[in-house]
Amino acid sequence: MSYLLPLGPFHPALRSPQRIVLRADGDIIQDIEHRDGYSTRNIADRIRRFDLARSYTLINRICGVHSHHHALAWTMALEALAGLSVPPRAQVLRTVAAELERAASHLQTTAVVFDLLGLGQVQRQLFALREWVLAAMQHLTGHRLVVDFARPGGIQVDLTDEERAAMLRLVRKPAAMLYRLIDRTITRRAFTRRVVGVGTLLQPAAETLGVSGPVGRASGIKRDLRTDAPYASYAEVKVAQVTQTGGDTYARIMLLLLETFDSLQLVQRLLEQLPAGAWQGQVVEALPPGTSSVTVEAPAGPIRHTLVSDGTRLTTLQLEALGAPHRLVLRALLAGQLVENAAVIVASVGACMTCAED
Amino acid sequence: MAVLLLGLCLGLLLVALAIWALSGRVRTFSLGLLATLGLVTLLGLPAAQLSGHLPPQTGFVWGTLNDTALELRFASDSLPTFFSSIWLLCAIIISGGLASTFGRTTRAFGLVFAGLLILVLGGLLTIFSATPIGVWLGLGTTWMGGTIMQQTTTAHNREATLSGLPILVLALAVLVYAATPTLAGAQVLGGPWLAGCALLIGLAPRWGTTTTAPLLVRAPTTALGLPLLSGYLFVRYATETAPTWSQQTTAAVLLVGVSGLLLGAVNAVAARRLMEAFSGQLVAQLALLAVTFGTGQPAAGPIAIGLLAHTAVTSTSIALAAGQLERVTRDDRFATLPPLPQPLRRAGIAYGLAAMSCAGLPPLLGYALRRVVLLLAPAQPWLPPVLLAGSTLLALSYLPTLVAFFRRPAFRSPLAAVEQRGGGWPLLLMTGLLLGGLVPDNIWQWILGDPSVTGPQAPPLAAIISTAVTTLIVLLAFGLVNRALRHPRPGVQFGGGEPLDEEPGWTLPFVALRAMLWPLVVPEPGPLHALWQWLARQRERFSAPWHLLERRYYLALVVVSLITVLLLAAQ
């Protein structure tokens, strides 16, 4: 018997409001309908009417989870237009903030999946690790989530030596704990039997549907802007290219956990070799005419900010979240799957549309 | 013949419905193969005509409307047979390419292939119909198939709305039907028809919109859909009526053709997106049809048929190749197309060959066709230089996309790799163009069908080879000069973000050319710009009611339409 089953607009598996209607026959999902647009705030339109000083506040609030990456892309685009250079210390600290945000985002995604799988103990451990990471972020920026850290030509606040030492201690511990957690979890039967071969998206389909970011890397698409077109300080540190080929929920979870581990390692290395020198950014109030476009690798996939200035104000701002899982990806992931696995599959792709719906 | 065609069409419709019904249960790859098989079966139609099993024309009265008999009449002479063969071949290649790109495990995308089959069904009705009502029905069905494909492959529901373009096509078709009982009698509509085609196929602002539907999916709707069918209808109409045209009509057609060629080429050069460039190039290609008939020569018919087939093949190849580029880069703007970790060699070569043929470079079929068009115009001494200028601009417009297939980043990623799957499909089509370029005389004989009729004088093989060598030397020299003038691009270091957008990767002459030509396309303010604005407003006005047909509601429309068609056919 065919029936419809709604998932959302609000559901623990969804990181932002969206509506997924599952069309199921028995316990097999036949097709889905997906409706987005619940988070549209017209930020790109509103920013054009703001002066630049006020725009930073709004840019940092496009997405609560990926706030720093939006600010980073925006700031880099402004710097490209204004011809500003960034001192090495500020570049390194921006990269540290980006990796901490990546770790926190990945830990949140995996924790939700384990919660939906009924593995509450692992979920609590992952959330505890996330708290350590957010505490480190608070040491660096003064905020846990909406960090408001990047400024054209530098950063908002510097890190003292004492804070750096405290941050290193804060980051080393979750890295070691995460390693043990991954080691214990990947062979747990209660975990593997619900995720191996579930929600598979193989590489050809992923390429066709334009999947990028961690979901694409879990399907074998070896692309990561941090290594393909390095920005900030990524060319100075070795970023481990984590990829999986399975394309299933297991591959996605493993990829997120391994990338989290690598992010924490990166943060340690960057803090240990933090250069001294200038760091302070400035509020740019006037821009020369021109266009600039910057793409950064956010935790959920690439984010692109394109700015056009006529010399007096911004005439165009285009925000694109290339990694946001859209309805084609969700259809490919969910069709043919068991209804009981739908929430787990959706959670494993970190279905956040906030970045895409400016 | 009518029974055979209707039987095949109904069979195709049933296959489409079956694919639709099985979409969630059967793998998309299998459904794609089934659709491809169905399309291969349709090749039996032109084969039956070639073997003499079909009468040249047949038809039946379908019903009555306001006491007027609605007659569906089908013609199976050499033009529809030849064009339908090429058209079906392109559709088969697209269907096979699409099936392979979805992978072996994906489900629930069967509607893409159902849409493709419906599009083909509409195309066949348009191609074989000898009465305007059939053409109207065919164009509507083609639009419906294309819409289903686009609806199924848009990533966000806010993009899944219908464009105003098909509405304009249908309005034009209704206008033709209302004004004339037969195609041949539509002489008074020749001018508006041409202008309408030029507007519809490229100048309408539809092309300026962004959509996340992969270009690979848009290929059948653009390369094989309404624009190409409009070109075919024009060729059919002009073949029947050109001998009776007055001198003024012929001159007007020539003027429209030359304007379309130049405008399309300039538009393509000034384009900032892949799709804009593609539409400009398509306009220029189709405008050559009008140029051919505008010369007023008796040989214009066969040449136009050759040009039409050439446009179908090259557009399909370009759409398939550019689709792969768009899919890999996730971008369609020239300014921001990122470098590829690995060059897309097969797709790039196919794109390059198609571009060469479109620009009229040897040894491809496009060269032979362009040469005979030039030979046709002894009475218009101004035409060859204008055509050469248009072809040069057209050739330049292909360069940005071509470079993007092979551009490598300054920083080489240790692990990054690009999936090369699907690049071989357009290459398959290019083999035909290469063969056609080397033995053009045999192609003329095949088009004409009758060995006793002499076709246009194609250039000899020695001339083709010598011109090819000369062109190669010129291109190499041009490339060397460009290399010397190339911007010194800053390395990818962390000096405050990516470098300022300077149309990266393109050479100085190209940027300068674009800057010089852009005011010609969109003067501020000017009549063309005003027309563009007006079209944009019309599109908004037309598309608003269609928001009601989002998602599942448009499926209801499709079902109702299909039931209506079946009931009328049964009547």
3-state secondary structure B3-51: HHHHHHHHHHHHHHHHHHHHCCCCEHHHHHHHHHHHHHHHCHHHHHHHC
**In angstroms, what CA-CA distances link A86 with A89, A137, A292, B177, B523?**
8, 21, 17, 66, 40
Scan residues 109-128 of B and list those with Cβ closer than 8 Å to A: 109
- State the sign of the Cα–Cα–Cα–Cα dihedral B216, B220, B223, B225: negative
Residue B400: partners with Cβ closer than 8 Å, 6 or more residues away: B277, B334, B505, B506, B510
**In angstroms, what CA-CA distances link B179 with B54, B192, B242?**
31, 12, 19
Query: Is there a domain that residue A355 lies in?
Result: no
* B510 interfaces chain A, CB cutoff of 8 Å: no
In whole angstroms, give the CA distance from residue A238 to residue B351.
Answer: 37
The band of B31, judged by pLDDT with boundaries at 50, 70 and 90, is very high
The band of B388, judged by pLDDT with boundaries at 50, 70 and 90, is confident
Domain tally, chain B: 1
3 state DSSP class of A3: strand
pLDDT value at A345 more than 90: yes
Scan residues 312-351 of B and list those with Cβ closer than 8 Å to A: 327-328, 330, 335-336, 338-339, 341
Pick from A36, A75, A290: CB nearest B501? A290
Q: Using alpha carbons, select from B447, B153, B501, B294 the residue that is nearest to residue A81.
A: B501
The band of A95, judged by pLDDT with boundaries at 50, 70 and 90, is very high
Query: Is there a domain that residue A208 lies in?
Result: yes
Query: Is there a domain that residue B515 lies in?
Result: no
Chain B partners within 8 Å of A241 (Cβ): 413-415
- State the sign of the Cα–Cα–Cα–Cα dihedral A242, A243, A247, A248: negative
- More reliable by pLDDT, B45 or B217: B45
- pLDDT tens digits, A137-185: 998 888 888 888 888 888 888 888 888 888 888 888 888 888 888 888 8
Residue of A nearest to B107 (CA): A335
Which residue is it, tokens 């079956």?
B18
Chain B partners within 8 Å of A37 (Cβ): 156-158
Query: Is there a domain that residue B371 lies in?
Result: yes
- More reliable by pLDDT, A76 or B146: A76
- pLDDT tens digits, B235-251: 888 888 888 888 888 88
Per the structure, the complete domain to which residue B453 belongs is given by: 214-249+271-410+421-487+503-508
pLDDT at B211: 46
pLDDT value at B493 more than 50: no
Mutate to test the interface with B, among A76, A85, A93, A208 (most CBs of B within 10 A): A208
Query: Is there a domain that residue A354 lies in?
Result: no
CATH number at residue A209: 1.10.645.10
Percent of chain B past pLDDT 70, that is, above it, reads: 56
In whole angstroms, give the CA distance from residue A25 to residue A27.
Answer: 6
Query: Is there a domain that residue B262 lies in?
Result: no
Chain A partners within 8 Å of B24 (Cβ): 23, 25, 29-31, 335-336
Query: Is there a domain that residue B364 lies in?
Result: yes
Chain B partners within 8 Å of A83 (Cβ): 496, 500
Query: Is there a domain that residue B146 lies in?
Result: no
3 state DSSP class of A2: strand
What phi and psi values does residue A5 have, to the nearest 5 degrees? -135, 115
pTM of the model: 0.78
Residue B107 is classified by DSSP as B
**In angstroms, what CA-CA distances link B209 with B197, B204, B532?**
19, 10, 13
A335–B107 C-beta distance less than 8 A: yes
pLDDT at A204: 83
- pLDDT tens digits, A38-68: 888 888 888 888 778 788 888 888 888 899 9
B23–A31 C-beta distance less than 8 A: yes
Stretch B52-79: mean pLDDT, rounded?
70
Stretch A268-278: mean pLDDT, rounded?
88
Query: Is there a domain that residue A357 lies in?
Result: no
- pLDDT tens digits, B175-228: 555 545 454 444 444 444 544 554 444 444 344 444 455 556 666 676 787 778
Domain tally, chain A: 1
pLDDT value at B168 more than 60: no
Query: Is there a domain that residue A356 lies in?
Result: no
How high does pLDDT run on average in chain B?
71
Query: Is there a domain that residue A344 lies in?
Result: yes
Chain B partners within 8 Å of A288 (Cβ): none
Chain A partners within 8 Å of B102 (Cβ): 204-205, 208
Per the structure, the complete domain to which residue A275 belongs is given by: 2-348
B156–A326 C-beta distance less than 8 A: yes
Pick from A32, A229, A332: CB nearest B106? A332
Query: Is there a domain that residue B18 lies in?
Result: no
Stretch A257-278: mean pLDDT, rounded?
90
